[in-house]
Chains A and B, each alone.
Chain A
Amino acid sequence: MFQIAHDDSGAIVLEGRLDAAQAPRAQAFLDEVTGPCVLDMGRLEYISSAGLGVLLRTHKRLIDGGGLKLVNVNRHIGDIFTFSGFDRLFEIELARDPPPLA
């Protein structure tokens, strides 16, 4: 299950699993974006190389205006960004760890 939509603040919210089967839908949505934007990944559970390709293609298209900013990135996806070198290409904010149980 994958969802992509604008929220009330104008950010784009990604939710679920962005795999090779869902990448064309994500690309079609992001192709409509015309300026720099924030992608909220707080509810994104998973991304594969197909999803990375969507982010990279969109970022390059929009870079003259500031590109994409990736926020609320979970630890696993943050690792993928690091392995891919995306941490040096994008502005990325990792999600805060949940507080420890009392």
Chain B
Amino acid sequence: MQQTFGRSINELSRIVAFTDRFFARESIDPEMRYIVDLCVEELFVNMVTYNTETTADIQLEMASLKHGVQVSLTDFDVDRFDPREIAPVNVDAPLEQRAPGGLGLYLVMKMADSIHYEYRDRTSKITFVAERR
């Protein structure tokens, strides 16, 4: 199941509606919903925020697996950005050293069971798998 979304944070409500339909159609365990929602939002918002050189829509695909869900986000006509290469966040730092920001992709790396990245012909595709626990 796939759909494209405009490059706006206001598209998050349509993404949630799309995910609702996917989970209902494929009878996905609702316990997996939080991880899928979080990873999709963080990756989508990252693309919208940082890949500003394009106006192309972002494509979202979801597929059910035997033990989970596979989700891909594809961004067209953009520079390479592999989210697996981000600097780690020190979540043990005291309050005075913590600053808002930087947690989104860190949480994706922590919560997804696997992440795959492809970059070809200026097309950036991030795929993650969330497994039933």
Mark A residues whose CB is within 8 Å of B. Answer: 17, 19-21, 46, 48-50, 52-54, 56-57, 59-60, 63, 76, 79-80, 83-85, 88-89
Complex: chain A residue closest to B92, CB-CB:
A85
User: Any chain A CB within 8 A of the CB of B13?
Assistant: yes
User: Any chain A CB within 8 A of the CB of B78?
Assistant: no
Contact of B111 among A20, A57, A59, A83 (CB under 8 A): A83
For the complex, count residues of B whose C-beta is within 8 A of A: 26
Q: Is B41's CB under 8 angstroms from A19's CB?
A: yes
Docked Cα-Cα span, A88 to B110, in Å, equals 18
Cross-chain pairs A/B with CB under 8 angstroms, 17 sampled: A19-B41, A20-B12, A21-B10, A46-B34, A48-B37, A48-B45, A49-B101, A49-B107, A52-B100, A53-B100, A54-B100, A56-B100, A79-B34, A83-B107, A83-B110, A84-B91, A85-B92
Across the A-B interface, the 10 shortest Cβ-Cβ residue pairs: A85-B91, A53-B100, A49-B104, A49-B103, A76-B34, A21-B12, A20-B45, A21-B9, A83-B110, A48-B41
How far in angstroms is the closest Cβ of chain B from A20?
5
User: Any chain A CB within 8 A of the CB of B132?
Assistant: no
Docked Cα-Cα span, A84 to B102, in Å, equals 10
Tell which of B12, B16, B95, B111 has the most Cβ of chain A within 10 Å: B95
User: Any chain A CB within 8 A of the CB of B93?
Assistant: yes
Interface of B is mostly: helix
Contacts of A50 in B (CB 8 A): 45, 104
Q: Is B91's CB under 8 angstroms from A48's CB?
A: no
Contacts of B13 in A (CB 8 A): 21
Tell which of B9, B93, B96, B100 has the most Cβ of chain A within 10 Å: B100
User: Any chain A CB within 8 A of the CB of B84?
Assistant: no
Contacts of B94 in A (CB 8 A): 89
Contacts of B57 in A (CB 8 A): none
Contact with A along B90-133 (1 / 0, CB 8 A): 01111110111101100100110000000000000000000000
How far in angstroms is the closest Cβ of chain A from B6?
13
